[in-house]
A = this chain, B = another copy of it.
Amino acid sequence: MSFNTFGKIFRFTTWGESHGPAIGCVVDGCPPNVPISEKDIMSDMNRRRPGKSKFTSQRKESDKVKILSGVFQGKTTGTPISMIIYNEDAKSRDYETIKNKFRPGHADYTYFLKYGIRDYRGGGRQSARETAARVAAGAIAKLVLNKFIGKKFKVIGAVTHLGLLGCNKNVWNEKEIRKNPFFCPDKKSVKFWEKYLLAVRKAGSSCGAIIELRASGVPAGLGAPIYSKLDSDIASALISINAVKGVNIGSGMSSAFLSGEENSDEIKSISGKTKFKSNNAGGILGGISSGQEIVVSFAVKPTSSILNSRDTIDKKGKNTKISVKGRHDPCVGIRAVPIGEAMMFCVLLDHYLLNRGQCG
């Protein structure tokens, strides 16, 4: 993993700026002979796509993915798969007024300090638009894993906290997740979330979110100790998503408050099958998957682009005020669900291949 490339055997490189002509990614190391079509990829792209509801950015992007290489007669060939997504609805003029100012909470300031130059239009490279390319890569990883492991394998993400509002995670209704605009797993919470988010948007403010990912059907043995542990790589993958500030593996931060008895998941053999009595470990022990469900969660901070006026400085270091108009998600965390899933697919496939390489 390095700079704009993620992965070890199954690797993808993303490129592109929010208001450039296009964004894209190159997937390398993909196993051959896996049936893949642009249509397969689009079903995942559509889940992340902006402009679908009043709760997300109104930027209108079809996010149509075009495959330029690596697929022949409907199957992967083992050579790099290049995908391109054109930017269709960039409104760069919106950014003229703030091009010399640093938006608080954004990477404007740090990109400028690091590189001495930045594409200010729509956040340039730091825009969440980059994540569309990841979803395309993740869609491919999912297809490969489905072929290798079978349909029992799946990764489902959901928003479990929308700002201050939680939901009943125990419900975890997958159909419901796919239906409501919040990826909320609990139908009862949807109404409250709607009202809450409309109020947040009306106030010119924004809110954060917590997303949970559950991967089931993952074979035991994936993960490469010591410095490519499965959970290290998942954490790295998730924190690389824009605005993510925290990651929990299983019980995560809360495990600090448990006793040894409460925390360590007891093991039982039931009808010849290994069962764990609990899953505080989140399906990962010593950085290796145990065969249990992998459960991780991550926090997305509130959108930094808000209408309300804030203190900041400009490129010359002078104090000024900023109010960001543009078209922004009141909660970027919502669209992080398919992105998190995509990163999970990529990490799991990568470790699947790595384990097959080393351990056969």
Contact = CB atoms under 8 A, between A and B. Distances in A.
Contacts of A119: 72, 77, 79
A124 B32 CA distance: 14
B13 A3 contact: no
A226 B110 contact: no
Contacts of A251: 245, 301
Given A240-B229, A251-B301, A78 B260 contact: no
A168 interface: no
Interface in A1-45: 1-6, 8-9, 11, 13-17, 20-24, 26, 28-33
A109 B266 CA distance: 12
A117 B9 contact: no
8 contacts: A22-B68, A72-B124, A77-B119, A111-B225, A114-B220, A114-B222, A253-B253, A268-B313
* Copy count, this protein chain: 4
A186 interface: no
Interface string A78-115: 11111010000000000000000011111101110111
A210 interface: yes
A304 interface: yes
Contacts of A107: 225, 285-288
Interface residues of A, number: 152
Of A6, A24, A82, A208, chain B has the most CB atoms within 10 Å of the CB of A82
Contacts of A105: 260, 263-265, 281, 285
B114 A78 contact: yes
Contacts of A78: 114-115, 117, 358-359
A60 interface: no
A256 B31 contact: no
Contacts of A110: 220-221, 223, 284-286, 288-290
Nearest to A12: B227
